[in-house]
A and B are shown apart, each in its own frame.
Chain A
Amino acid sequence: MKGLRLPLLMLLTFVMAACNRPAPRLEGGVSRTEAWRQETVEQMASVMVQDNGREKPLSVLAAFRLYDIHGRRDLKYSVKDGSDKETKFMLEPTEWLLDVICYPDQAARYPLFRIEHSGVLDALEIQNDGQKLDFVYITYDQAYKAGAKLDDLAKAYFNIEQKLRTTVEEHILELWRDVHAYDRLQRQFGTFHFSVPIADAKLQQAFGTERVTVGTIASHADQFQGLLKREGPEMKGASRDLLAVAEFVAGVIGYDADGFGVFAPTEEGATEWLTIGAAFERVIKGQRGHVVDALTSLQRATSADSILDKERALLQFRDASIAAAGSHYNTVQIERETYYYRASWHYQAIHWFLFAFLIGVVTWLVPRNKTLWWASMGISILALGMLSYDLTLRCLITGHPPIKNLYDTFLFIAAVGVLLLLCTEFVMPRRIALAAAPFVGALLIMFARIYEVSNAADTMDPLVAVLDSNFWLATHVTTINIGYAAALVAAILANVWIVMRVCRLSHPSDVPAKALVRMCYGVTCFGLVFAVVGTILGGVWANDSWGRFWGWDPKENGALMICLGQIALLHARFTGWVRDFGFVVWAGIIGMVTVFSWFHVNQLGIGLHSYGFSAGLRTAVWSCYTVQMGFLIVGTVDVLLRPSPARAAASDKTRPPIPAG
């Protein structure tokens, strides 16, 4: 043990150093000298917008935009003051979005775009130090300056087949997409930062100012309309200033055409929300009321000097936009979703699961202590309750059963896996499932959070037509995922058996090892029921939607492979072809098949279930295969090197014979 101290210390130092990466510095000074007040951030979080086909809180939009562009849940930077003292800042997504709206100059200097290869910087002719760290961030300003080069390279690389692209080419394409995503976002509110100087006295009188902005035009829309009408459709006699204002108006209307919806539609039956440009067009054409208030409030929020004035204007914008939305503003749903993300019950469950796991591990050292057993079990149940509440909230927000996309499967499988293991522990209290349950729960929720950020797509986006069936989502999708959960749990138990054997924690004929195999067997039987029924139900659904029960689609094949593997395993056990070791190895292989079916087939780029490719997922999938193969190889080598219990008993006369059964 003493020999391990130094390496452990070095590892700990390395981990701490890696975690303590210095925040990138914000160059060029700060425009916002104070932090946003928490109250303002919370109020703005529940502003309702429409994006990607559904109404959602502004905070959710901000979060997924930040995941997409920045690849993290928060944005960190540091600022050096006059005395060379460095202060660190961390922005939540909503705070970051408020900066984009109100302090675009500062936001454009945030370290935003992650560059993982110095070749990208070299290609864009951005000064760099050869990338001493494993990644660096560049700002929008830097990317903007290299914009022409970036566009040219992206166009060239786009025409190269994906699998033939180099890492640098892939990164440049990714950067191009991120820069354009940010550009679209900041353009959405960019028009409020433009103004048109007017020298024409009539115009100055009409608008009451010498510089015309979106806000002044919106608040003086009647006067502006009067001026236009007076000049007639040809506007031949219009002053240069009026023409400039008209041109400005036309520019504002089309400036954010591909942005998200900020204002609810006013027409009967309309469902598509209006961008700022589209709402501004309605105001110019005669619409009045709360939309005008919202536009002028936003103008004040972007133009005001002090942060207090900005915050006041932002809150006025919030009130006006809610009033303008009228019946479109679903208070319950928006507040529920805002609460969901703020409370983040599944995230809280991770901590409790880890706590329960630690206690579960301690119970191995003091096996007779029932208090610890109950403590671990109780905390696991508590965390499972949190996770279940999280899933319930998701169902209420989306109006669908718990699984609608790949992200949901993580949380659902985590909940089912934990439940299954806890039930197993109740039936066979060996303290193995007791520790495994919270471990599985925490691990899968962490995977879910990693996937959420790397995929960067709103996990509650509306469903495509074929999936929009609550009956089939509740039956086939739920059933098959219970089958996945059981297969994974069986694989984890199998790995525990291998570890116990390899580490000599238990002799294969000992009670704990036998109990583990029995648990593995029971869970496999349980999983088989759901895997088979779920797979056939999927076929029945496909028969109703695509016109065939079975089409050898990769996702269908994955599910079939799980069923075939489990049925073959149980029959092999009946025939005596596999014993304990064979059973756990086979269960481990079924675990890999489950990962193949769960994730991998979605990335093959073929079939009706393909959801696109994500490099992050590829790493996760291959990591799972590698880890599982590692267990199986180590276990097999151990079995080959160490005689089987029966042979050991026969050869070792000093050891008492192992009782049959």
Chain B
Amino acid sequence: MTFKTISSAALAAVLATAGVMTAGAQHITGAGASFPNPIYSKWFAEYSASHPGVQINYQSVGSGAGIRQVSEKTVDFGASDGPMTDEQLAASKQKLVHIPTVLGAVVPVYNIPGAAKELRFSPDVIADIYLGKITKWNDPRIVKDNPGISLPDHGILPVYRSDGSGTTYIFTDYLSKVSPDFQKKIGKSTSVKWPLGIGQKGNEGVAGMVHNSAYSFGYVELIYALQNKMEYGFVKNSSGKWLKASVEGVTAAAAADAKGMPADYRVSITNAPGNDSYPIASFTWLLIPQHFDDAAKGKVMVDFLNWMLTKGEGEVSALSYAPLPKAVAASVAKTIKTIQ
């Protein structure tokens, strides 16, 4: 072996090490929905800790901003509480894949001094409260759903989210499905034109307003209600069963809809069929580019997504999120293989 070959071998080894090291030091940035931010932060922190050299940085700037930024390629991945529309996908500068991660749900909250705590609400009753068609707590339709509970002859104050939010999107998506009138007059979006009521910022704003105002009615995320031990109402699902939202009911709704799940996962699971399906629920999605310009980044992302499906999903219940149903997780695993 000559000196030359030895030195070139050493050089190659040094270069290889350097190559590995640069590939290892990966910084990936994402931006988007604030609803899954707690679980995403936890996932990214844990993943970074077990994979030295990988830094995943997530900014919860809102779904709209997340969609815009990943479409403009200013971040490596996005996240959204509502699926992107066909126009948004067409306008994006890169092909994006929707990866469902966890599920959230929305629950009705109310404040009636002196009344029994667990009220029941039919879907059309909720829609008509927000449409201003049901204005009193002792409206015959509310009374009919709640036999044996004396309801006061007092006006209802509807409270809604003033800030654009995935919560409002899920809630209005549901009400648009169950009430044609709601769909026609209000429709679904992250913020809508409420005909009446009071808007408050954030789950905490709505919850605070409902808590402080007698005879008010509002909606908050299930996670928020659970973590703050708030009372919330029953909702009648599509099979006519009264359900109080729970993590299991949400996963059941997702599982019930899994069979008809489109290949790109852009699906609304509100008003899902099935006896145990809680009706006001939704996926939240990561928006991942199909082809990463930087192949190393793509590799890390794929590795993270697989880690999320196997390890990450096991931790979501601790934060009151509903995990993906098994069938959905299995098909997501296949989709991840297509990402480069």
Same complex origin of A and B:
no
